[in-house]
Amino acid sequence: DKNCFILGIESSCDDTAAAVINNGTVLSNVVATQKIHEEYGGVVPELASRAHQQNIVPVVHQALRIANIDKKQLKAIAFTRGPGLMGSLLVGTSFSKSFAFGLGIPLIDVNHMQAHILAHFIKIEGQTMPSFPFLALTISGGHTQIVKVTDYFNMEILGQTIDDAVGEAFDKSAKILGLPYPGGPLLDKYAQQGNKKAFKFTKPRVNPMDFSFSGLKTAVLYFIQREVKNDPDFIAKNMKDICASIQFTIVDYLMDKLKNAVKHTGIKEIAIGGGVSANSGIRQALKEAEKKYGWKTHIPDFAFCTDNAAMIAMVGELKYKSGDFASFDVVAKARMKF
């Protein structure tokens, strides 16, 4: 069907997003990022839901306008049902229900974590999609997960974080160094110019495919407090080396976990997603692993890595084609399994 236009809506955290997809090709991908949280150094749930309410109608309008279609051409509306912040999810869920009901078209519920993974099936010129089975590493400010993907909707979580997400480890370390929120990208920038072996941080020990990052944050904090006591200018003098060392620890830890998952499953096809996949260290480590261990790695365009609605629309399209619709009494779910 050439006219299979699906609208995707994402509102699980602090990005209000809408996108239109047509047979795997993204026609529009609009994201309103909420600036309000910066001054608090983290997402404030109540402020997030209020901002979603203000943003959602203009964002959807813009997505339709950029895609150059009328709302009457939409075949279905796909929305993030969970996991995420309840207040935020409610805005997207309620809006999507009313819009689909008003237009008389099907409603499709989407699991945000599945969407991060299925974003790899968005058509992008010159990029090959992962083939089944593959391992998906989803790394962002909210998630850290390794998933075995056997088919579009056949996924098994092999491991995940038992405390903080990896993006939080970057952001909290950056905060300790006095960098503005979210500090991950800045930490990465300094890291690229520093010596990664300058300082050593121990990697937290948990199950082979699980993650823990809260200990690293504490280790960084104590290390900095101790050094600053001896030399108040310690951070300024060593910023690049500190960042490089922290980044090296985190990237090496992620790679250890991936290696464990490869060993456990025998699968060497790896797809990463989430905002942290922008990190230069993890990108380089994956490239090296292709040569060293014969892995095949996939990293989607950055716009499809961070929270976005194109990935929601992509899942919507897959479910639409198999007639997998939601009932109109579907409710948002803050915690949600596959």
Q: Which residues are annotated as a binding site?
A: 112, 116, 138-142, 171, 184, 188, 279, 307
Annotated binding residues for Fe cation, as ranges? 112, 116, 307
Q: How many helices (H) and strands (E) does the chain have?
A: 9, 10
Give CA–CA dist 198/155, Å, rounded. Answer: 39
Residue 322: partners with Cβ closer than 8 Å, 6 or more residues away? none
Annotated binding residues for substrate, as ranges? 138-142, 171, 184, 188, 279
Between residue 302 and residue 321, which ones bind ligand KG4 under the rule CB under 6 A? 306-307
Of residues 168 and 241, the one with the C-beta less far from Zn ion? 168
Q: What would you measure as the largest C-alpha separation in the chain, in angstroms?
A: 68
275 lies in the site for ligand KG4, by CB under 6 A = yes
92 lies in the site for ligand KG4, by CB under 6 A = no
140 lies in the site for ligand KG4, by CB under 6 A = yes
Between strands 134-139 and 107-111, the pairing is unpaired
83 lies in the site for ligand KG4, by CB under 6 A = no
Decide: 67 and 4 in contact? Cβ < 8 Å.
no
Single-letter residue type at 26: V
Give CA–CA dist 214/128, Å, rounded. Answer: 36
Shortest separation between residue 70's beta carbon and ligand KG4, angstroms:
31
Binding marks (x or -) toward Zn ion, 298..317, rule CB under 5 A? ---------x----------
Between residue 143 and residue 182, which ones bind ligand KG4 under the rule CB under 6 A? 167, 170-171, 182
Element (H, E) at 108: strand 107-111
Give CA–CA dist 273/16, Å, rounded. Answer: 19
- Residue 253 tokens read as 């830890």
Q: Considering CB distances under 5 to 8 angstroms, the limit depending on partner class, which of Zn ion, ligand KG4, none binds residue 275? A: ligand KG4
Element (H, E) at 196: none
Binding ligand KG4 (rule: CB under 6 A), the pick from 8, 83, 142, 300 is 142
Of residues 221 and 278, the one with the C-beta less far from ligand KG4? 278
Decide: 108 and 79 in contact? Cβ < 8 Å.
yes
185 lies in the site for ligand KG4, by CB under 6 A = yes
Shortest separation between residue 315's beta carbon and ligand KG4, angstroms:
16
Residue corresponding to tokens 């895609």: 67
Q: Considering CB distances under 5 to 8 angstroms, the limit depending on partner class, which of ligand KG4, Zn ion, none binds residue 182? A: ligand KG4
Closest CA to 83 of 134, 145, 29: 145
Residues that bind ligand KG4 (CB under 6 A): 13, 140-142, 167, 170-171, 182, 184-185, 188, 274-276, 278-279, 306-307
Residues that bind Zn ion (CB under 5 A): 140, 307
